[in-house]
Structure 1
Amino acid sequence: MNCRGTVSLGTASPTEERSCSWLNPWFFLVFVLAIKTAFVTICLVIFLHGNYGQCQILLQNAPEWCCISSVPAGKRENQMCCPNGWRHFQEKCYYLSTDKMSWVESEQNCTGMGSHLVVINNKAEQEFLFSLAKGVFTKDYETKYYIGLSAYENGQWQWVDQTPYKKADTFWKPGEPNLLFAEKCAAIHVKGNTDSSTYYNWNNILCFTSCYRICELAAKFI
């Protein structure tokens, strides 16, 4: 029997009435669920196959992750993601703070964000970070950014991620490091936004000095 048809109350059997009253709500519920499923599927397809050149949000271990198109050598086409507000470079993410802390507090702050104070591995990374730091406007004539290098514990220079310290791969200013009995923490030293000292601008300073910081973490690929 067609339940949408007109039925005479005087002739319909009790069985027919029960069938109609039972079927209508379930038919409506199934119809609504089907519509919702189709809508969600369309949204997922649009999200996953959207424009890779645009910034997208990745909810994973941080409030917001920003993704850009990236095709690293030997890898399939994908997206490289960093926390929102961080900068991309060579499959790493970098954060330049806007407040100042001691070296120990700076490392704790980076660790609390799932990162660590930056470890500089090569000349290209040094150039990128110095240009980034120089581009940040501050009212200070001299600006210092802590990096993840210190002789804080045993008097020997160590990177926070246990990367071996090699003098040949460092970028100390001429005459630095000095006063190692007291100045046991390293920082990038920027003299204004016209500073031309792209390389060799590290300075060792007192670890309780309040400085800006650069945090680093590995980018995520999706």
Structure 2
Amino acid sequence: MSFVCMKLCVLAFVATVVFCACPNSWSHYGDKCFFLSRDNETFADSLKLCEVIGRQYGRSASLATVDDAKTQQFLANLMIKINSIGMYIGLNDLVTEGEFHWIANGKQATYFNWGPT
């Protein structure tokens, strides 16, 4: 199981876990636990916060990877639940402009519909 943290601009932290239940205030989806934070942070600070929270649970954590419609819908529903209008996800084009890769796994993005439906 992985942790995902989300922040307002919501950050979505992901960390691998070895237990069956997510911690209190985290939401479970697939093999991940998602955490929503209402703190306003920059993208870089949100990513650092994910890593810190993951270490607190003895796991790695990162901003969310949204690689399919089901994950996108789950995250959109979480955003609605906390009345959020946006979130940071773990995607950037820092290495090559216009070529987007996920922070958590380094894979090039193939799914691009990340907004609420």
The two structures have a TM-score, normalised by structure 2, of 0.69
CA shift for structure 1 position 82:
1.4
Q: How does 1:80-91 map to 2 (within 5 A)?
A: 80-91=20-31
Secondary structure of the residue aligned to 1:81 is coil
Deviation sequence 1:92-137 (CA, Å, 0-9, x none):
1001111111101000000111111001122111101001101213
Percentage of pairs with the same residue: 27
In 1, the alpha carbon distance for the partners of 2:107 and 2:48 equals 21
CA-based RMSD: 1.9
Secondary structure of the residue aligned to 1:157 is strand
Question: Structure 2: which 5+ residue stretches go unaligned?
Answer: 1-18, 55-60
In 1, the alpha carbon distance for the partners of 2:94 and 2:42 equals 12
Secondary structure of the residue aligned to 1:83 is coil
Is 2:77 the counterpart of 1:134? Answer: no
Aligned to 1:154: 96
The two structures have a TM-score, normalised by structure 1, of 0.38
Task: Find the partner of 2:109 among 166, 179, 183.
Answer: 166
In 2, the alpha carbon distance for the partners of 1:131 and 1:113 equals 23
Q: How does 1:66-77 map to 2 (within 5 A)?
A: none
In 2, the alpha carbon distance for the partners of 1:164 and 1:154 equals 13
Q: Which runs of 4+ in 1 moved over 4 A?
A: none
How many residue pairs are counted as aligned between the two chains?
Answer: 92
Question: Structure 1: which 5+ residue stretches go unaligned?
Answer: 1-78, 173-187, 189-196, 199-222
Aligned to 2:47: 107
In 2, the alpha carbon distance for the partners of 1:81 and 1:116 equals 19
- Which structure's CA Rg is the greater one? 1
